[in-house]
Amino acid sequence: MKQLRNFRMSPRDIPDEVMQNPAFGEAMAKYGNMNEDALIEQLLKQIRAAKQAGTYHSAQTEGYVAMLSPHLSAAQREKLANIVRVINAESEM
């Protein structure tokens, strides 16, 4: 299983407003050592909860995907696109 803990981003790749946001540090502490499967599981769990609460917005998810995509490999982009398709298909049910 691929671990993201060895993933390295240059600080210049992360916008200042993200780095200064306390939620960024919290997210790194919470999710930084999870493997890919655990991250996907958490993502789906949170999206299902947001859908039940009526707070899920597909446009926001698409924005996150657009922000992440340049930092992912082609295989990771495809996997993320498949996850988003599943999420959006569940929304239409």
Range of the domain at 75: 11-92
Based on the number of CB atoms within 10 Å of its own CB, is 85 exposed (0-12), middle (13-18) or buried (19 or more)? Answer: exposed
- Range 32-42 burial, b when 16+ CB lie within 10 A, else e: eeeeeeeeeee
Q: Which residues have CB under 8 Å from 10's CB, separation 6+?
A: none
What is the value of pTM for the model shown?
A: 0.60
75 within domain boundaries: yes
> Which among 80, 82, 87 is positioned nearest to 51, based on CA atoms?
87
pLDDT tens figures, 26-70: 887 888 788 888 888 888 888 889 889 999 888 888 888 888 888
47 within domain boundaries: yes
In this predicted structure, what is the pLDDT of residue 7? 57
1 within domain boundaries: no
49 within domain boundaries: yes
- Name the domain count of the chain: 1
6 within domain boundaries: no
